[in-house]
């Protein structure tokens, strides 16, 4: 590969990672770009998980063997089997050198390539590959993981020039990973409530739209729990907003705990003293049970005056739910009834007969003035 081709390969790798929308897309773009740039048949990107002492494979691309999943959930190797990431690299840095890539061949030193660790050679032979180049990825000044590119048996063995080029590619991958981290953090902040760490209103809107699309196309049950934390204003007025914030944080933890009773449920703070729980695919009764536990635990909090909780589920007789707005109105109406009744248990829309008061309230024409709930008509 000539200089122009290598430059084009570097640019393609960087552009592929820049265009990634998720961390998984970024990992895949890194591995595919390195594999193409080095004319390999297989490539993998792995991360060093220091706290667990293992090298975990994030993605495998190219000519994969049956035991090599594209995005493996449990493919990892004890670092002591591949100690170069902790020993060889640091020895090189201590001596003033850089984290250069190196080459291994299935024939070992007989191929004229000075290998480092027999585990690499054994792995090449086990998977029927001829050689590999391993390039350390350094992120924020620390060894982050590695890019691994292999060639099939019979293909030319990687040389020193390939290893030097792999070192350059690893630096490009590191830059792409840093950008991905920044984007992931920005997305996290955009969809997270800063005080409680729960999802925020924007995240609920996105997830609820997706959930209702699944309901329309596949009949998935969508349930929404809306709750008002009682007594927050009194706490703020008598004990100060710092104490009120602690109450919000504490209730957020309780909501998260109860939400975990329903697999995949999204716990969120909509703003102020308003929270919600969104569940997709779970039985409505399981969601009501979680809401009941939420009411019980909220009532036991040292601060506040419990919670008013309303539930609306497409599994109950509430009529068609064409959009997120109606499901919110139903859950809100149920919560409003719970508050009016000073109920210590959730009120569920559609469970009081044909003339259900919650459904009737939700379907009443809205008043001319602005609607009571910010999530039903006003910006958060």
pLDDT in tens, 300-336: 888 888 899 999 999 999 988 888 999 999 999 999 9
Averaged over 7-28, what is the pLDDT? 92
Query: Which CATH number characterizes residue 46's domain?
Result: 3.30.450.40
In a domain, 301, yes or no: yes
Q: Are residues 201 and 316 in the same domain?
A: yes
Res 154: pLDDT: 92
Res 85: pLDDT: 62
- What whole-number distance in Å separates Cα of residue 307 and Cα of residue 323? 26
Distances (CA, A) of 327 to 39, 205, 298: 53, 12, 24
Q: Are residues 131 and 68 in the same domain?
A: yes
Which pLDDT tens digit goes with each residue over 145-197?
Answer: 999 999 999 999 999 999 999 999 999 999 999 988 888 777 777 888 888 88
Rg (C-alpha) for the chain, rounded Å, is: 28
Which pLDDT tens digit goes with each residue over 260-315?
Answer: 899 889 999 998 999 999 999 999 999 999 999 999 999 888 888 889 999 999 99
Res 116: pLDDT: 53
Average per-residue pLDDT for the chain: 86
Look at residues 163, 190, 217 and tell me which one is the last residue of a structural domain.
Answer: 190
Q: SS3 for 96?
A: coil
Q: Which domain holds residue 74?
A: 3-190
Q: Are residues 260 and 162 in the same domain?
A: no
Spell out where 230-341 has E strands: 266-271, 274-280, 307-313
Query: Which CATH number characterizes residue 322's domain?
Result: 3.30.70.270
The answer to whether the Cα torsion of 231, 233, 238, 244 is positive or negative is: positive
Domain count, the chain: 2
97 pLDDT band, cuts 50/70/90, is low
Q: Are residues 133 and 212 in the same domain?
A: no
Q: What is the pTM of this model?
A: 0.58
Res 264: pLDDT: 86
Res 377: pLDDT: 38
- What whole-number distance in Å separates Cα of residue 358 and Cα of residue 350? 7
Q: Are residues 63 and 167 in the same domain?
A: yes
* CA 32, chain centre distance (Å): 22
Averaged over 46-55, what is the pLDDT? 84
Q: Are residues 18 and 103 in the same domain?
A: yes
Look at residues 131, 164, 190 and tell me which one is the last residue of a structural domain.
Answer: 190
- What whole-number distance in Å separates Cα of residue 219 and Cα of residue 39? 47
- What whole-number distance in Å separates Cα of residue 150 and Cα of residue 125? 12
Look at residues 166, 190, 214 and tell me which one is the last residue of a structural domain.
Answer: 190
Res 87: pLDDT: 55
Res 380: pLDDT: 37
Helix 3-18 vs helix 23-37: crossing angle, to nearest 10: 170
pLDDT at 373 over 60: no
- What whole-number distance in Å separates Cα of residue 297 and Cα of residue 350? 25
Contact between 139 and 178 (Cβ < 8 Å): yes
41 pLDDT band, cuts 50/70/90, is very high
DSSP letter at 192 equals B
């Amino acid at each position: 590969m000539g200089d122009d081709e290598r430059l084009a390969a570097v640019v393609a790798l960087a552009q592929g990672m820049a265009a990634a929308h998720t961390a998984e897309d970024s990992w895949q773009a890194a591995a595919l770009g390195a594999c193409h740039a080095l004319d390999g048949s297989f490539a993998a990107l792995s991360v060093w998980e220091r706290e667990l002492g293992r090298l975990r494979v994030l993605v495998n691309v190219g000519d994969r063997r049956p035991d090599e999943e594209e995005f493996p959930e449990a493919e990892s190797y004890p670092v002591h089997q591949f100690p170069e990431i902790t020993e060889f690299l640091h020895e090189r840095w201590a001596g003033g050198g850089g984290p250069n890539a190196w080459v291994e061949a299935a024939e070992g030193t007989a191929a004229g390539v000075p290998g480092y660790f027999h585990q690499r050679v054994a792995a090449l032979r086990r998977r029927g590959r001829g050689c590999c180049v391993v390039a350390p990825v350094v992120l924020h000044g620390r060894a982050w993981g590695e890019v691994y590119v292999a060639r099939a048996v019979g293909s030319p063995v990687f040389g020193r020039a390939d290893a030097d080029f792999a070192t350059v590619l690893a630096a490009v991958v590191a830059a792409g990973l840093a950008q991905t981290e920044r984007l992931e953090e920005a997305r996290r902040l955009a969809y997270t409530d800063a005080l409680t760490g729960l999802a925020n209103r924007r995240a609920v809107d996105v997830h609820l739209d997706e959930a209702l699309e699944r309901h329309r196309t596949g009949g998935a049950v969508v349930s929404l729990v809306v709750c008002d934390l009682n007594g927050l204003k009194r706490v703020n007025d008598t004990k100060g907003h710092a104490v009120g914030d602690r109450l919000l944080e504490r209730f957020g933890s309780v909501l998260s705990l109860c939400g975990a009773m329903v697999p995949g449920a999204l716990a969120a703070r909509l703003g102020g003293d308003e929270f919600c729980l969104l569940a997709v695919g779970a039985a409505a009764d399981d969601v009501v049970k979680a809401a009941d536990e939420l009411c019980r635990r909220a009532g036991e909090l040292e601060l506040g005056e419990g919670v008013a909780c309303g539930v609306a589920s497409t599994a109950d007789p509430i009529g068609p739910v064409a959009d997120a707005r109606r499901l919110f109105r139903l859950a809100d109406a149920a919560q409003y009834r719970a508050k009016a009744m000073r109920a210590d248990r959730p009120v569920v829309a559609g469970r009081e007969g044909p003339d259900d008061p919650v459904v009737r309230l939700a379907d009443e024409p809205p008043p001319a003035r602005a609607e009571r709930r910010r999530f039903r008509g006003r910006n958060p």
